[in-house]
Structure 1
Amino acid sequence: MIKLSKRLQTIADRVTAGARAADIGSDHALLPVYLVQTGKCPSAIAGELNDGPLQAAKRQIAEAGLAKAVAARKGNGLAVLEPGEADTVTIAGMGGSLMAEILETGRLAGKLEGVRELVLQPNVGEELVRRWLFEHGYVLQGEWLLEEDGKLYEVLRALREADSPTDVTNAEVYDPAFLPADMDAERKRCWLFRMGPYLLRQRAELLPEKWRQEHGKLKRIRAQLEQSELAESRGKEAQLREEMEAIEEVLSCLQTVKPSSSS
């Protein structure tokens, strides 16, 4: 039996039992092999663009004796799928910009037809993924923030709007009522996309650490800009200052808000 890393296990645990799964950018096919090996999924597809990882995926599948249940396919993003052959798509370990691009390209090509569930783990740019889900008919069902090997990762699970429970709508998920009152509606929505509505509402244990790290990065960049004599550096510096103040404001607000019990 394959043993997954904490990050991949978190993703596997969020996949709905009985779903036909497709893992995009599957590398060594660890996740799809695990899902079928454990009986959680009846079948799976491991999609990979590069020959090296594709061959590694095929070896992994063969060694597990799952050649009939797990297919390794070469292709770019969701191009490895035929419409209607997957219920759940997982994508992990890449930037949010690329992930959103893969989802949008697949949507336009009809590859998301029949896909009711997305389980996504962007390394950076999580707000781009949340915004894509919000704008294209998927509703976040939950978010998880975990630490592995000194790095922090976010896992997002979303369902198609038609499959989402009636009390879990985008209006409900992105309700900004608990954010600082002096923020305008647009800024509140922006920070919900950036920090995660569930993570914020539940005051996820690792959330302050994640955003203290981000605050520290911005502080270092701002210090470098202060050394520049270019006029445009002043504008960038002011923008960073505003962003840092918003992070401080949201985190300060969270310390006074009781965590929500919603999942």
Structure 2
Amino acid sequence: MIIKLSKRLQQIADWVPMNSRLADIGSDHALLPTYLAKENRIAKAIAGEVNPGPFDAAVRQVKGSRLESIIEVRRGDGLAVVQAGEVDCITIAGMGGGLIVSILQAGVDKLKGVQRLVLQPNVGEDLVRQWLREEQWLLKAEHILEEDGKIYEVLLAERPIEGWNADEFVQADKTMYASRQLNCGFVLDEQWLLKLGPYLSEETVSDVFIAKWQHEVNKQERILNTMAKSDAEETAERREQFVAYKSELEELIACWQKGKQ
């Protein structure tokens, strides 16, 4: 049976190195490891799933594909399904950024020997980027795509090459998140780059990227409309913050759109 991945899962699959020992956390129906095994891309895989329904579906998928010798489906929470040194690539997709961070942090001792993380947060991408920085994982690439009316970001991070020291990582990280001025004059500082993505927010950005942040502007507008119905002093102060954020986003979008002309 041929497995066709969604665009989102295909991007993740494309970033899994050849002959990886993979752990796919929150594997759902184990589609990703099954596809990679059928393509002879991985040496072995652990499909981790905490919920009974998806776990059973993953077991059926692996058995139906006769891939039990390559893929082992394990039930457990997060990285609890993995032993330290057992895998060298971990994929986590389809969750909020906060949950992805909590999974990685709770299982940080399981990351020994892991060389690559491929992460796809549904929201809170900045939380993931911040965690990667704090734990000295170097963000190597970012991709944004739209599928079925939803926009997804995929992040690829690696351990610094063998022989690097902490100072070299800090320098590479500082360079990546160094403030940069766009042609329109807008300055993307460290906090903006964490939010937008240092690779995704280059001068010429994709239409999907602009659409994502236009959705954010629309969201801020809805929040402001709700706040307008309240006379509380605290709400007034928060409203000023939302107004400023929305205004900056609108300026950024105009800047990006001008750069595409």
How many Å apart are 1:18 and its aligned residue?
A: 1.5
Q: Which moved more, 1:241-250 or 1:157-166?
A: 157-166
Q: What residue is the counterpart of 1:119 in the other structure?
A: 118
Q: Contact 2:49/2:74 (CA < 8 Å) preserved in 1?
A: yes
CA distance in 2, matches of 1:35, 1:76: 23
Which sections of structure 1, spanning at least 5 residues, go unmatched?
Answer: 259-263
TM-score when normalising by structure 1? 0.90
CA distance in 2, matches of 1:160, 1:256: 37
CA distance in 2, matches of 1:35, 1:14: 11
Instruction: Encode CA deviations 1:10-55: one digit per residue, 9 max, x unaligned.
Output: 1101111121111000000000111111011111110000111111
Q: What residue is the counterpart of 2:77 in the other structure?
A: 76
How many Å apart are 1:163 and its aligned residue?
A: 5.7
Residue 143 of structure 1 aligns to which amino acid in structure 2? E
How many Å apart are 1:255 and its aligned residue?
A: 4.3
How many Å apart are 1:232 and its aligned residue?
A: 1.1
Q: What residue is the counterpart of 1:224 in the other structure?
A: 226
Q: What residue is the counterpart of 1:261 in the other structure?
A: none
TM-score when normalising by structure 2? 0.91
- SS, match of residue 120 in structure 1: strand
**Structure 1's 150 and 182: CA in aligned 2 closer, same or farther, altered over 3 A?**
closer
CA distance in 2, matches of 1:224, 1:67: 53
Question: Which residues of 2 match residues 139-178 of structure 1 at below 5 A?
Answer: 139-162=138-161, 169-178=172-181
How many Å apart are 1:181 and its aligned residue?
A: 5.6
Question: Which residues of 2 match residues 99-138 of structure 1 at below 5 A?
Answer: 99-107=100-108, 110-138=109-137
- SS, match of residue 151 in structure 2: strand
Q: What residue is the counterpart of 1:254 in the other structure?
A: 256
- SS, match of residue 207 in structure 2: coil
Q: What residue is the counterpart of 1:86 in the other structure?
A: 87
**Structure 1's 105 and 90: CA in aligned 2 closer, same or farther, altered over 3 A?**
same
- SS, match of residue 42 in structure 1: strand
Percent identity at matched positions?
Answer: 45
Question: Which residues of 2 match residues 4-23 of structure 1 at below 5 A?
Answer: 4-23=5-24
Instruction: Encode CA deviations 1:80-108: one digit per residue, 9 max, x unaligned.
Output: 1000111110000000010111111111x
Q: Contact 2:21/2:45 (CA < 8 Å) preserved in 1?
A: yes
Q: How many residues align?
A: 253
Q: Which moved more, 1:197-206 or 1:244-253?
A: 244-253
CA distance in 1, matches of 2:181, 2:22: 36
**Structure 1's 149 and 182: CA in aligned 2 closer, same or farther, altered over 3 A?**
closer
**Superposition RMSD in Å:** 2.1
Which sections of structure 2, spanning at least 5 residues, go unmatched?
Answer: none
CA distance in 2, matches of 1:15, 1:244: 37
CA distance in 1, matches of 2:56, 2:163: 37
Q: Contact 1:92/1:120 (CA < 8 Å) preserved in 2?
A: yes
- SS, match of residue 26 in structure 1: coil
Instruction: Encode CA deviations 1:185-241: one digit per residue, 9 max, x unaligned.
Output: xx7111111111111015133111100000000011101101111111101111101
CA distance in 1, matches of 2:163, 2:121: 22
Residue 176 of structure 2 aligns to which amino acid in structure 1? V
Residue 21 of structure 1 aligns to which amino acid in structure 2? L
- SS, match of residue 146 in structure 2: strand
Instruction: Encode CA deviations 1:42-86: one digit per residue, 9 max, x unaligned.
Output: 111100001111111010000111101100001110111000111
Q: Contact 1:97/1:125 (CA < 8 Å) preserved in 2?
A: yes
- SS, match of residue 29 in structure 2: coil
- SS, match of residue 161 in structure 1: coil
Q: What residue is the counterpart of 2:210 in the other structure?
A: 208
